[in-house]
Structure 1
Amino acid sequence: MSGLEIIGAFESTYLPRHDSDIFESTAHDVHWKKDLDLLAGCGVKRLRYPVRWHRVEAEEGVFNWADTDKVLHYLRDHGFRSIVDLVHHTSYPKWLEGGFADPRFSSAYLRYTEEFAKRYPWVEEYTLFNEPFSTLFLTGHEGIWPPYQKGLDNFVAQVLNVLPAVAEASRAYADLLPGAKHVWVDTCEHHTGAGAGGSAYATMANERRFLVLDSFLGKHGGKGYDPHGPMAELLGEAGGEALQDLEPGRIDVLGLDYYAHCQWHFDDKGGAPNTPFPLPLAHQIYLYWDRYRLPCIVTETNIRGRTSDRATWFKYVLEQCERARQMGVPLEGLCWFPVIDSTDWNSLLFRNDGHIDPVGVYWLDQELARQPSVMSESYAKAAAGTPSKDLPAFTLGEPVATWLRGYEPQMSHWNWTEAPDADLGNSLPNTQTRMELRIVNAE
């Protein structure tokens, strides 16, 4: 027995510029009961499930909980245990025109979170803000998501606009939902470098990955970040010293989202995902646990590829989770994200054309019918307690084989099986495929 609980999830991110979300583009908003039946059929009853703030409060100050009531009550009444996700990436109401830089965000968010807690006092687990570091990095530092801001100063400004409200909500929930656990969810990163410039940048990035969570918890003697660390001077120039004055929030469980692109390699020419020198995931999990000493969950993982590629990556992540537990990490579970294919992540949600992402436990055909595969078989086996050593390892197809080349030494002890030709999935990446890094003008 692996001893790890397998957890489900459904992708829901809102695309403000298109007024659409992935619940709708995958028809989960219509077929949610069938999708939950698929999950239960795999033996999975614990799941991350989002509340769509952008639909609940489509008009400022007016809450419509009807759809949320249907699903959350169904989950509760049918024995599911939900980690309710209150803000998933850019899933804020469209009337917050400045997004996470909007000066109205704090009051609006706190009103929403309070209304939620009062309506659902029986909720047992919740995530107040999914991936705050990576979300605000994409909205405020890289200009990829609205409001399309760039640079460390804008990133810090958005962190200062969002984090105090999340911390206040976490403290309020200690009273509003006293028996429930706050599951903090963010990326699990590690970076490598070569050459003077690349090594220096990797050192900085390995410090930056902890910035938001350190600030939220008031680590480093309440200073939020290391005032003598590799980011101190940069943060001082960008207004980051204000991060040292935040009132800390509270966390019960540390959720770690891990993908192969969570490890970048930098050299003097720049950086690229899928480092040739990946640190084993078990060691990354240990590093985060050792820093924060909180119970952990791997709250997201997937890989874009054939269903057999997904099953192989699932075997790797499960094996690494087992090893992390052997290293003493109190790791509760593993969540493959999502249960069904998502859409439009190939353009990082810049476009809204319903392009199917080949990442789900179940894959979507062109009619959005949910299809089983070797991935759903492995997932169900793991949910029943099958350890990683008894799950199949399929030969990797391109471009996944190239993306994961650095992981080969960590997989060398496996007995490999030829990948099946059937049930490959939909919208498979070709050998030239790279996730777009779409930079757009705020205008």
Structure 2
Amino acid sequence: MPFDSSGQRPRIEILGAFESTFLPAHDRDIFETTEHDVRFRDDVELLKRSGVTRLRYPVRWHRIEETEGVLDWTATDAVLHHLRDEGLRPIVDLVHHTSYPAWLTDGFADARFGPAYLRYAEEFARRYPWIEEYTLFNEPFSTLFLCGHEGIWPPYHKSLQGFVDLIVNVLPAVTEASRLYRELLPDARHVWVDTCEHHTGSDRSGQAYADMANERRFLVIDAFLGRPYDSTSEVGRLLSEVDGERLLGIEPGFIDVLGLDYYAHCQWNFSVEGGSAPTPTPIPFADLIQQYFDRYGLPCIVTETNVRGHTADRATWLKYVLEQCETAADRGVPVEGLCWFPFIDSTDWNSLLFRCDRSIDPVGVYWLDEGFERRESVMAMAFSAAAIGAPSRELPAFELAEPVATWLAGYRSQMAHWSWQAPPPENRGHSLPRTTTTMELKVVDAK
């Protein structure tokens, strides 16, 4: 319901999150490069002070099972028990992008993945029966697409065939885990998390590709739920060329909450010259939430969003996303919350994790300085205000700095009703994009 019995809109809950993606080629993860592994108690305290009680939190399979068949839960016990003792409610994340053990040498193409994943997932559920919410596999569409179709992450496949092969190798184990968790954690909820996409075309060729991509975005979740694809569609025609019928044989799984990860680069534009993001004509995020709700009829939660820029730019993007969530809720979409991801700056996403040089990614609520100390900012203040109940109209709208101003130019018409103000003098951050940088995402640039 968009409004409660008093006629007031229910508050959109604000969530926190911490990043931990494993870089198999470097045997390091972002827990370690941001020092969260040794600072987690202090980081959790900062999160609590912000007014947050619910968060996405990763479980590091790659560290738990560094030797095949030997699972060490010591570090996981420490952090999850600390979260529980502090009164925080984690949505645990069992596999975040390439966060699988390094001995799975073929990654998501490894024949051992399914049995190993199910063993790990079962032991987790039996060890932590108090967990209330879980994500079995973070962003399965985008993760397997980057691994199987774009060749960005291991096993570096570059074809529709490779993409479908990875889905068929991974998804049956994830659906089985969802059925198993119905027995082992009957009161907990499965929060499915994937990218929330929409695409446009600027010429006939580009629009044809955008139409196909707007069908393809639902491929993995439909396969997970046992929904057939339209064999007469463009996606269906392409799948017929790679034995896509295998997707129809996957036993369905269960989803309780639909998690939507949304960034400006989730809306691409295509033309005869190729594709880039963001599109110059993005649809409002509220419309996109509506599309996913209309298709699946599940309660929604924004499980990731951020923007790479100055701290004031981040605060302004928070205002936009929260306002769009409120708009969707007013239309009757059950929007449970909004998670800014991550709470502290991340690292090495400027190379899509190809390199591991601790390059700070300026996207967090708290920014990291040269010594990786956590620093407060206007973003932290806006985030805290929203977390304790401020609606979007009470959050500041700061004039965007370059290159974010150009990056988000297509969104300005959706923000035209705001009262803008100059960024504060303490508009800080580390490793900020240069004003001459063209913030255009093309995955071919990753290496």
Q: TM-score, normalised by structure 1?
A: 0.97
In structure 2, the gaps of 5 or more residues are 1-8
1:280 aligns with 2:255: no
Deviations along 1:32-68, whole A, 9 cap, x unmatched? 0000000000010100000000000000000000000
Q: Secondary structure at the match of 2:259?
A: strand
Tell me the equivalent position of 1:394.
398
Deviation at 1:227, TM superposition (A): 1.9
Tell me the equivalent position of 1:422.
426
Deviation at 1:74, TM superposition (A): 1.0
Give the percent of matched residue pairs that are identical in Structure 1 and Structure 2: 65
Alpha-carbon distance between aligned partners in 1 of 2:242 and 2:307, rounded to the nearest angstrom: 35
Pairing partner for 1:314 from 306, 315, 318: 318
CA contact (8 A) 1:143 1:439 kept: no
Tell me the equivalent position of 1:145.
153
CA contact (8 A) 1:2 1:385 kept: no
Alpha-carbon distance between aligned partners in 2 of 1:387 and 1:440, rounded to the nearest angstrom: 37
1:337 aligns with 2:337: no
Alpha-carbon distance between aligned partners in 1 of 2:446 and 2:139, rounded to the nearest angstrom: 22
Pairing partner for 2:257 from 234, 253, 256: 253
Pairing partner for 2:383 from 379, 384, 393: 379
In structure 1, the gaps of 5 or more residues are none
1:228 aligns with 2:232: yes
Pairing partner for 1:432 from 427, 437, 445: 437
Pairing partner for 1:178 from 175, 186, 192: 186
CA contact (8 A) 1:10 1:337 kept: yes
Alpha-carbon distance between aligned partners in 2 of 1:319 and 1:175, rounded to the nearest angstrom: 38
Pairing partner for 1:403 from 396, 401, 407: 407
Q: Secondary structure at the match of 2:405?
A: helix
Alpha-carbon distance between aligned partners in 2 of 1:233 and 1:439, rounded to the nearest angstrom: 29
Q: Secondary structure at the match of 1:231?
A: helix
Aligned length: 437
Tell me the equivalent position of 1:26.
34
| One-letter amino acid of the structure 2 residue matched with residue 63 of structure 1 | L
Deviation at 1:228, TM superposition (A): 2.2
Deviation at 1:437, TM superposition (A): 2.9
| One-letter amino acid of the structure 2 residue matched with residue 19 of structure 1 | D
Alpha-carbon distance between aligned partners in 1 of 2:175 and 2:233, rounded to the nearest angstrom: 24
1:325 aligns with 2:325: no
CA contact (8 A) 1:346 1:436 kept: no
Q: CA RMSD in A?
A: 1.2
CA contact (8 A) 2:303 2:340 kept: yes
| One-letter amino acid of the structure 2 residue matched with residue 113 of structure 1 | A
Alpha-carbon distance between aligned partners in 2 of 1:407 and 1:153, rounded to the nearest angstrom: 35
Alpha-carbon distance between aligned partners in 2 of 1:239 and 1:397, rounded to the nearest angstrom: 48
CA contact (8 A) 2:13 2:387 kept: yes
Tell me the equivalent position of 2:6.
none
CA contact (8 A) 1:140 1:154 kept: yes
Alpha-carbon distance between aligned partners in 1 of 2:211 and 2:442, rounded to the nearest angstrom: 25
Deviation at 1:194, TM superposition (A): 2.0
1:14 aligns with 2:18: no
CA contact (8 A) 1:148 1:440 kept: no
Deviation at 1:268, TM superposition (A): 1.2
